């Protein structure tokens, strides 16, 4: 069976909030309930896997080191998914540092000889489930969305879109009826198949 970007079979939720069980996570768990039976669903709390600061060693003597076993396990868990979902609230009009930290590592991983990280990302789907505190105006989500859209484009991934919830304290999002409604078909709707820049 070929993989359609519209119906992910293996979804990795990348939890990037600085708290457990927050609004973005609750909204993502709500949306995940609509995934078809048989979908493999993985939840990964990024801060548990990225403890060291990212170092830009592109031009350093010797370049990047070979990733250790823990890092390689994270890479393979990432590449096992056919959809990567950032579950990331809005912090200061942007993605939280944990999400950014993960993306920074891609700059290393795509340079690991023999890994073919960039090529293996190609054709996967990228999406965002987010939450923020401004009830009325979703414009604060635009930098985070644009960042991920461009990252998808750069890596040859398909961009599904963003599911946006509202709230401050954990659980507020469960009163956001529009977000809950949108969550019901978020993973079932078609994905833009156009990839403007392949690796």
Ligand X SMILES: Cc1cc2nc3c(=O)[nH]c(=O)nc-3n(C[C@H](O)[C@H](O)[C@H](O)COP(=O)(O)O)c2cc1C
92 contacts ligand X (rule: CB under 6 A): yes
Cβ proximity to ligand X, 47 vs 153, nearer residue: 47
Give min distance, CB of 15 to ligand X, in A: 9
Confirm or reject binding of residue 142 to ligand X (CB under 6 A).
no
Least separation, in Å, of the C-beta of 167 and ligand X?
5
Smallest CA-to-CA distance from 21 within 86, 85, 87 is with 87
The answer to whether 145 contacts ligand X (rule: CB under 6 A) is: no
**DSSP character string of 39-55:** -EEEEEEGGGT--SPP-
Q: Interacting stretch for ligand X, rule CB under 6 A, among 19-27, 56-64, 69-77, 121-129?
A: 19-27
Residue 146 as a binder of ligand X (CB under 6 A): the answer is no
Scanning 52-60, 69-77, 86-94, 150-158 for contacts with ligand X by CB under 6 A, the matching segment is: 86-94
# residues near ligand X by CB under 6 A: 19
Q: Give the full edge-to-edge strand order of the sheet including 125-132.
A: 40-45, 10-15, 83-87, 125-132, 158-166
Q: How far is the CB of 190 from ligand X (least distance, A)?
A: 27
CA of 98: how far to CAs of 51, 82, 83, in Å? 10, 21, 19
Binding to ligand X by residue 98, rule CB under 6 A? no
Residues sharing a CB contact under 8 Å with residue 139, sequence separation 6 or more, in sequence order: none
Q: Which of 45, 49, 42, 4 is nearest to 24 (CA)?
A: 45
| CB 44 to ligand X: min, Å | 15
Q: Does 143 bind ligand X (CB under 6 A)?
A: no
- Per CB under 6 A, the segment of 20-28, 68-76, 107-115, 180-188 that binds ligand X is 20-28
C-alpha distances in Å from residue 124, one per residue of 51, 85, 88, 97: 26, 11, 19, 23
Do residues 34 and 185 touch, judged by C-beta distance below 8 A?
A: yes
For residue 93, state whether it binds ligand X (rule: CB under 6 A): yes
Exactly one of 22, 81, 100, 158 binds ligand X (CB under 6 A); that residue is 22
- Are 70 and 62 a contacting pair, CB within 8 Å? no
Residue 126 φ/ψ, nearest 5 degrees: -120, 140
For ligand X, the binding residues (CB under 6 A) are 17, 19, 22-25, 89-93, 131-134, 140, 167-168, 170
């Amino acid at each position: 069976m070929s993989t359609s970007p519209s119906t992910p079979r293996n979804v990795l939720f990348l939890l990037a909030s600085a708290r457990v069980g927050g609004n973005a996570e609750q909204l993502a768990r709500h949306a995940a309930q609509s995934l078809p039976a048989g979908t493999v669903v993985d939840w990964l709390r990024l801060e548990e896997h990225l403890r060291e600061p990212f170092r830009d060693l592109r031009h350093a003597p010797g370049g990047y080191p070979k990733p250790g076993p823990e890092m390689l396990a994270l890479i393979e868990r990432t590449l096992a998914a056919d959809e990567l979902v950032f579950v990331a609230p809005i912090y200061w009009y942007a993605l939280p540092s944990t999400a950014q930290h993960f993306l920074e590592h891609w700059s290393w991983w795509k340079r690991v000889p023999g890994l073919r990280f960039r090529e293996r990302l190609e054709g996967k789907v990228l999406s965002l489930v987010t939450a923020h505190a401004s009830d009325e105006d979703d414009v604060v989500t635009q930098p985070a969305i644009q960042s991920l859209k461009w990252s998808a484009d750069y890596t040859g991934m398909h961009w599904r879109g963003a599911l946006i919830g509202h709230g401050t304290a954990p659980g507020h999002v469960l009163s956001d009826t529009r977000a809950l409604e949108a969550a019901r078909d978020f993973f079932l709707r078609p994905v833009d198949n156009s990839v403007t820049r392949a690796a």
